[in-house]
Amino acid sequence: MFKKLLTLAIVLLIQANANVLQEAIDNAPEGSILKLPAGVYKGNININKPLTIIGKEDGVVIDGEQSGTVITIKSSYVTLKNLKIIGSGDRHENVDAAITISDGAQCEISDCVIEDCLFGIDMQMVNNSIISNNHISSKDLDLGLRGDGLRVWYSNNNLIKGNSLIKSRDMVIWYSHGNEIVNNYGKHNRYSLHFMYAGKNLIKNNTYEMNSVGIFFMYSKDSIAIGNVIKSSQGATGMGIGLKDVSNFTLQDNTIIYCAQGLYIDRSPFEPDTHNWITGNKILYNSEAIHFHSLSENNTLKDNIVMGNIEDIVNDSRGSKTDENDIEANYWDNYEGFDKNHDGIGDTPHKVYQYADQLWVYNSDVKFFYGSPVISLLNFLAKLAPFTKPLFLMQDEKPRILKTTL
């Protein structure tokens, strides 16, 4: 009798530790739909065929038990919906993630909650797929030690919509083209959105706040960023939108507010005979509104509102030709002219010079006094009776006179 009870206990223990979900996946025919009831399922799941897994009610949890990647997908036509995924490993070199998906197309990950996972969703060579309405956060680590909430690598023509990334590290779009990144939200991250060697992407109506950097584009071209809101990117490297070595970009109707640097332009446009178009944006209440670094010409800045910033234009590279950009019909709250005929255009050009603030632009030690009464007094005296030749930065031939409220 004792032996029978012991044998039964061993069988029950084995069944309790068995990966029931993996067995169901392995036994399901291609194209099956698995509807999971509430409960905790063991992770380290592998999906290698077309399959749909749906939490048919709240409370469906897949737990990686702090080891490796929770769900690994290597197939097209895989759908995951309404799942809570927790407990990946913590190894950066292994990219331990909630979900890794590779070498597929026509996949969907929607309405999932990802918590306590080093990386969120890692996409590698995945095309024509949907990532939507997921809530993603990393492990409780220092910012630089977290994993990326979403990594899109060599993946094209995907829709990334309505996701929230909070307390993650970055969302990266690398070597990936034709993607739509729409209505996403990011907070307390490093780069809420980072592009590298990516082209023809649409970035629309996203909101990013309290991150180190809102959106940063590198070595990319032919993309459009429209209707995004970036606010409170603060700290020494705080930046709203950054352009580095990018060409044929359009930034339109974005709002950049309360950032250390609003718009950062570095060697852009990069390719010969190309332009960038920066139009209709609101650049408000930043420490620096527009910061030029290195040789950046042939940008068109038109119909933007530049208001409430400590510095409107900063050029930190001696000899670069900031005035070679096409700057026209913007509103500048520092404009000191008049509009006598009431046509909404200033009667004289708006010219921007760099006075005593050259001291902190070119000398990092002096930047300690940035925004202090000392620098303000020096600037006032320099404008009143220049003791050094001011540096001409740019002029707006037709500055707008703002007649309506924001």
CA 300, CA 297: separation in Å to the nearest integer? 9
Q: How far is CA 139 from CA 94, 97, 117, 166, 341, in A?
A: 15, 11, 6, 11, 60
Residue 10 lies in a domain: no
Identify the domain boundary among 154, 189, 224: 189
59: left (phi over 0), alpha (psi -120 to 50) or beta: left
User: What confidence score (pLDDT) does residue 105 get?
Assistant: 98
Residue 393 has what pLDDT? Answer: 83
In this prediction, residue 13 carries a pLDDT of 33
Q: Does 32 share its domain with 162?
A: yes
Number of Cβ atoms within 10 Å of the Cβ of 112:
26
Please indicate, yes or no, whether residues 133 and 30 belong to a single structural domain of this protein: yes
- Both 253 and 162 in one domain: the answer is no
Are 333 and 205 found together in one domain? yes
Cα dihedral angle (302, 304, 309, 310), rounded to 10 degrees? Answer: 10
Residue 86: partners with Cβ closer than 8 Å, 6 or more residues away: 61, 62, 63, 64, 70, 98, 114, 115, 116, 117
Cα(50)–Cα(212) distance, integer angstroms: 39
Same domain? For 261 and 398 the reply is yes
Determine, yes or no, domain membership for 370: no
Same domain, 172 and 237: no
Verify that 158 and 212 share a domain, yes or no.
Answer: no
Residue 367 belongs to some domain of the structure: no
Same domain (yes/no): 40, 164 = yes
Residue 134: burial class (beta carbons within 10 Å; 0-12, 13-18, 19+): buried
Cα distance between residue 34 and residue 21, in whole Å: 9
Strands 350-354 and 391-396: antiparallel
- pLDDT reported for residue 103: 96
What string of pLDDT tens digits covers the 406 residues of the chain? 433 433 333 333 334 446 999 999 999 999 999 999 999 999 999 999 999 999 999 999 999 999 999 999 999 999 999 999 999 999 999 999 999 999 999 999 999 999 999 999 999 999 999 999 999 999 999 998 999 999 999 999 999 999 999 999 999 999 999 999 999 999 999 999 999 999 999 999 999 999 999 999 999 999 999 999 999 998 877 999 999 999 999 999 999 999 999 999 999 999 988 999 999 999 999 989 999 988 888 999 999 999 999 889 888 876 667 888 999 999 999 898 899 998 999 999 999 887 655 555 555 565 556 666 766 666 666 666 665 667 778 899 999 997 654 4
pTM here is 0.88
Which of 189, 219, 247 terminates a domain? The answer is: 189
Looking at the structure, tell me whether residues 114 and 91 fall in a common domain. yes
Of 162, 189, 216, the one marking the end of a domain is 189
- Give the range of the structural domain holding residue 158, as residue numbers without chain letter: 19-189
Asked, for residue 176, whether it belongs to a domain, the answer is yes
**Is 303 within the bounds of a domain?**
yes
Residues 274 and 130 in one domain: no
Count of domains observed in the chain: 2
Asked, for residue 379, whether it belongs to a domain, the answer is no
Q: Are residues 151 and 262 in the same domain?
A: no
Give the pLDDT confidence score for residue 246 in this predicted structure.
Answer: 96
107 and 128, same domain (yes or no): yes
